[in-house]
Structure 1
Amino acid sequence: MDRRQFLRAMTGAGCSAAAYPWLTSVTMAQGAGLGENRLIVVILRGAMDGLDVVQPVGDRDFAALRPHLPISEIGLTGPFALHPGLSGLQRLWQAGQLGFVHATSTPYRDKRSHFDGQIMLEAGTGMDMPIASQHDGWLNRMLQSVPGLTAETAYAVGREALPLLAGKGPSREWTPEVKLALSQQGQTLLDHIYHDDDLFREASTEALELSQGLSGREMRAPREAVTAKPAMGADRAWPDIDSLVDFAAGRLNGATRIAAFSLAGWDTHRRQAAAISRPLSRLQRIILRMQAQLGPQNWGRTTLIAMTEFGRTARQNGTGGTDHGTGGAMVLAGGALRGGTVLGKWPGLSEAALYDRRDLMPTSDVRAWAAWSMRGLFGLDRSVLENAVFPGLDIGQDPKLIL
């Protein structure tokens, strides 16, 4: 039993983030080989509706497809408008530190399963490989391609590693929402048992410190006001998100260079106008609090990529929501980003232009955008990206995402 297994045992048994949509995970990696730039990946579990987040209000077919979903008046570029739930990010857009990719997806098609879609998203492979055999993630393969790196893995609520960083690369785990509650007598006994064992003494001490450190922060967290509902797009506090971001930002301000979050809640089959506001607020909070915690210098070296397993149907359903689709959108942020634009080739929303006459047609691969981000940030060779990190992918022309 090694130190990593011991910490895992101390913090609970594994579970599936797709099966438990309230879970939030974070994974981190560090190493001198990555230089000073930082990459943050946010996996949006549940299939974010890109057509609602980045609304093609200038497309003549859009309003007819969604007659009962609110139309935004927050203009971006071209035919697009930003959902009011992310209106707190407008200053980043104006500063060129926010961008989007539209009509993009993984190679996953037709069956529209959250589980399979998330596996393919985090594995970074294509349909030529059976989904059941995809056990490592593209971030882990990237780490293996850079000499001299170490990886550190942590969790906010989830109890198993993000597949995004699963693989041969070393990792550490942290579960801040699972408390290791021991009495003083129990702690003394634990210290006595492991006093002469360097490995387990260090691991048990670290587990206690991490658990108790978060408990203290939770006790100090202000209670949310119950009398006033925050305005749409307001930068509101989310204590669990804030604890997670603060922990990650503290590492990113040091030697850590990669953090990968998991943010659930995007499965909006019913009453989407209300249901999507919460995950949008939480995503906005991650971005704004990360910017604040990193400070101008380190935020200026950071790119954040938020991606989802697939998009949602172009047409709203009978319960005011949308169903599992294909093409979707990515959210990009950071001071290292060349933002202020909506990237990707827009295919249109006419029935003939839709995928299977129901979904937004994908015109790009999410893996290519991730690959160009890593190339711009860390200088990885194109051959490494196409053969090792995303096997078999042609990443195409450089979209010049990074300044």
Structure 2
Amino acid sequence: MTRITEIIRKKRDRQMLATADIEAFIAGVTRGEVSDSQIAALAMAICINGMQVDELVALTLAMRDSGDVLQWAHLGLHGPLLDKHSTGGVGDLTSLLLGPMVAACGGYVPMISGRGLGHTGGTLDKLEAIPGYSVTPSVGHFQQVVKTVGVAIAGQTDRLAPADKRIYSVRDVTATVESVPLITASILSKKLCAGLDALVMDVKTGSGAFMPTLDQSVSLAESIVHVGNGAGMRTRAVLTDMSQSLAPSAGNALEVQVALNYLMGKRRPARLHQVTMALAEQMLLLGSLAADAAEAQQKLLQVLDSGAAFECFDRMCHAMGSRADIASYDHWLPKAPVVRPVPAVQSGQVVSIDCRALGYVVVTLGGGRLYPDDRIDHRVGLSGLAELGQSLEAGEPVAWVHAASDADADRACERVREAYTLMTGSGIEYPSVIGPLVG
């Protein structure tokens, strides 16, 4: 333990850690030889003093190598292994869209996703609104679905980056969750476990983002790009807006409905479409599946309009255990018993939205979790969410609440109303994509 203490001391005193130091510490974490208090001490030292890129690459690779790393060579895939990861937000269902879109363009997308926590939604929770969909397949089955369908979305197993899981549990109770180096290592160690060729990061900024200010979001994006590339995985980040819900609905079954409407060509909300296309375009470019942005956009629109992307999603769902006729979602998507409009209290233009507050409305309705073991009600949430810049007359709904009871709906309506500010508008435009950071 003397060496562990010296490693903590070095980072406390603002010295660089050698790769051997980092590997020894992570090995001790994985074997249970490093205590929670020692993890907390090093995490706090990193939070205060930061890490250089070389240190952070070493930390990320050590965390990756603390467990299994998926191998793909034996499957004889004929395209690149690509993925996208978002820093989280409200109404962000792009994973359900761009996974099958990129697969239909010739990529392979082994997407290891997470559950919602706090005000942010989780991809796995959305997928579990689909009857029979299993987010915990065996590794062999997961890889076989990727090979045959082109895309599979599932959860992290206990053998993928186990050191990260332990470190995160300590960070969560020691005020070190917001550390950019630790966020970077946590995200990338899990993505590197998937054996990816390239990763596109969707870094959110705005009131509903984990990093609410643009400066913080840029700092995280740059860190992820530098470390991902340093670890041998082509990495690019796109900054996108989360000052309002990305989709017009927030809540698990409601977001699945939006996704299916999008893939089936029934409705493609403008902001959601812009962000999805921007991220998927970068995936095709990183995977050398398109020569330039124009070709990438053309290919993506083609697989959407031909139905090939929806077919990939449908095949993935059935390969992952779903019993549902995916195209007939009205018959099987769970529906809340109480649906109620939230009328605007005055006429005007929507000039601000407390997006984080809307996320917590979904949570309090039962559609999210404050603690990892909380149960999810897939039926509940918000739909018809008014957008920034939208003009409304008094009495028109700013949203519709989907609730399990009248009492829940009463509380949710009041909180949604408080989250919206309407005034005489100034015609301000609100961009959804802030811009790419190329790695």
Q: More relative contact order in 1 or in 2 (CA 8 Å, sep 6+)?
A: 1
Give the TM-score, by structure 1 length.
0.31
| Bigger fraction of residues in helix | 2
Give the TM-score, by structure 2 length.
0.29
